[in-house]
Amino acid sequence: MKLKMPVSVSDIAALIDAEIVGDPTVKVTYLSEIHKVEAGSLMFVDNEKYYAQSIYSAASAIIIDKVVDCPTEKVLLIVDEPFEAYNKLALHYSPFVPVTATISPTAIIGVNTILEPGVVLGNHVTVGDNCLIRANTVLLDNTKVGNNVIIHANSSIGNDAFYMKKQPDASYKRWHSIGRVIIEDNVEIGACCTIDKGVSGDTIIGEGTKIDNSVHIGHGVCIGKHCLMAAQVGIAGKTIIQDHVTIYGQVGISKSLVVGEGATLLAKAGVPKSIPGGNKEYVGIPAGESRSKFREMVALRQLPDLIKKVNEIYAALFKNKKENKT
C-alpha cells in the first residue's frame, strides 16, 4: 500500500516502540509484504528462513525481531513481535471504515454505467464508463473498475485476504488487508464470484479477461490479459496467471505460482507448482502436459490386465516347477 505521504523511520518507530538500527531520517512510502517490495518499502520478517531474502530485498526498512548484519543503506526496526507491529501500522494507516450507505459518498461512477438494485459500492470505489454492475453485487473499499466491465449478480469483490498467522496457543490471527482489487477494461465477471484484495498490494484482473460463475481468486493474484476461466476455478494467493491462459472448470491452483502465457488447464486439473506456457495443455493431479498424462491414464487402465497376466505366468511357472520335481 502506498502511504499518502512519505513517513520517516523515526515516526514509524515511535508508533510501534521500536529500536532503530540505521539512519532514522530515512523515509518510507509503502507498507509491503515480503513478496512485493520496492525502494521505499517498509516490510516485516519474523522467521529466520526469510531473513536473507528480506535484508537483500529492495525494501528500505525492515521490522525484525533481532539485530542482524545488513547493507548499510538498510534500516532495521527491532521489536519483539514484528507481525503485531506491522499489523498495528496497517491499521493505523488504513483503518477499517464500515460502509454506512449503499453507495458510499466517496464512490466515483462513470458515465453510462448501470447499477442494478442491491449493488453496494464501498468507500473510495471507482467504476468506469459503460459498465453494468448487476443486482446485489458488492464492491468493497478501494476497488477500481475500468471501462466496459460487466459484473454479474451476487459477486463480492475486495474482500479481506485469507491470510492468517498461527499464534502460540494454536489459534489464528488475521493479517489486516490494506491492498486493493483492480479490474481493467473490458473484463466480464460471472455471478457469485469472490475476489480478495491484496494483503498489501493489488489483486489484478487484466484487460479483456472473462470469468465464469462461482470462481474464487485469492489475495494478490495477478491475472493477465484476455484469459478465460470456467466455473468453480480456485486460485490461491499471489499466483500469477500470464496473458491468454484458458482455465477449464474446477481447476485448483496453489499459491505463489506462475502459469505461463498461452497455457490451457483442462477440467479438474490440480496445479501445485509453476507451469510453462507455450500454448500447451495440462491435465491431472498434479497437472502435467496432457499428452504424457493421457498416456499415463491409458497405462493405468491396462494395469489390472497386466497384473493378471503376470500372475498367470507365475502360476504356470510354479506349476511346471512343481511337476518337474515330482
Active site residues: 219
263 in Cβ contact with 244 (< 8 Å): no
89 in Cβ contact with 103 (< 8 Å): no
161 in Cβ contact with 177 (< 8 Å): yes
Alpha helices in the chain (DSSP H): 9-16, 51-55, 82-93, 290-325
Query: Which residues, 6 or more positions from 321, have their beta carbon under 8 angstroms from its beta carbon?
Result: none
Q: SS3 of 86, please?
A: helix
Neighbours of 116 (CB within 10 A): 13
Report the C-alpha gap between 223 and 242 in whole angstroms.
6
Residue where the block lists cell 528462513: 49
- CA distance readout (Å), 270 to 27, 206, 236, 278: 43, 23, 12, 19
For 237, the grid coordinates are 494467493
- CA distance readout (Å), 231 to 46, 104, 171, 244: 38, 31, 33, 17
Residue where the block lists cell 507455450: 278
Q: What angle do CA 109, 113, 114 make, to 5 degrees?
A: 115
For 49, the grid coordinates are 528462513
- CA distance readout (Å), 187 to 155, 183, 215, 218, 278: 14, 7, 14, 17, 24
Residue where the block lists cell 453494468: 132
The C-alpha torsion from 21 through 27 and 31 to 35, rounded to 10°, is: -70
